[in-house]
Amino acid sequence: MSDVLIVGGSGAIGSALIQHYGALGDRVTALSRKAAPPWVQGRGWLHWQSVDEQDSASLNTALEHSLSRAPGIIYLCQGWLHDEKTLPEKAISQLSDEHLLQSLAVNLLSPARYLQALMPYMFRQPGVKVLVLSAKVGSITDNQLGGWYSYRASKAAVNMLVKTASIELKRRNKTATLVTVHPGTTASELSAPFQARVPAAQLQSPDSTASRLAQVAARLQPEQTGLLLNWDGQPLPF
């Protein structure tokens, strides 16, 4: 039995990761801004904690309990692309402060708060692996299509955040691994408006994505720390 910590457990990928590791017989702690959904009931291997990440006391209390189990794998699964009112920008004329700030709040500030709070644990925990979900569209080198200004910018920023934190981490714990991962296009609320344009073979179910991410985590090595990885474990350009 191993211990896994999943931040963002209420999302499609986070929920699938919870159930993937539970099926393996692992103990899982899930943190979320939302209350535990009904399917959590009766799962003794799962501990769900609601947390207000903007309140440092709430965040630290939640992590204190979570880290007491010494998780060897930690996922940060926060992500936001659009809402009912606003779709990703096709042109810079569509860029708004509200959309950009929301993208940065969820895709950058949220994982930044958790990494800051988790770092003392990561400094001392042998072999810990931390995977921060990002997106291939956050690659500056790979950007050939343009558009999606807010999402691309926030994901590029989280890639840099993780890369920078990985350098600090490596100085203190050479056995630790901290990476960003592109999970691939997954059937979820985030991707729902765009799924018709995705070839059927490329659209993954949340369960399939969780299985692929778990394989990436299982194969991670400390020399990979700081990389942006694809869903198959191969490095992507920044």
Report residue 10: phi and psi, to 5°.
Answer: -90, -15
Residue 161 reports pLDDT greater than 90: yes
Confidence of residue 111 (pLDDT cuts 50, 70, 90): very high
Residue 195 reports pLDDT greater than 80: no
Domains of the chain: 3-236 (3.40.50.720)
Q: Strands, DSSP E only, in 38-173?
A: 46-50, 73-76, 129-133
Closest-CA residue to 85 (of 97, 99, 103): 99
Collapsing DSSP states into helix, strand and coil, what is residue 129? strand
- Give pLDDT, residue 86: 86
Q: Which of 49-53, 72-76, 104-108, 200-204 is predicted least confidently?
A: 200-204
Confidence of residue 192 (pLDDT cuts 50, 70, 90): low
Closest-CA residue to 158 (of 135, 174, 175): 135
Name the amino acid, one letter, at 160. M
Calculate the alpha carbon distances from 20 to 23, 95, 171, 233 in Å: 5, 38, 32, 18
Q: In what order do the strands lie in the sheet with 3-7?
A: 46-50, 27-32, 3-7, 73-76, 129-133, 177-181, 228-229, 235-236
Confidence of residue 1 (pLDDT cuts 50, 70, 90): confident
Structure confidence by residue, pLDDT tens digits, 49-88:
999 999 999 999 999 989 999 999 999 999 999 888 889 9
Compute the average pLDDT of residues 169-185: 97
- Give pLDDT, residue 204: 87
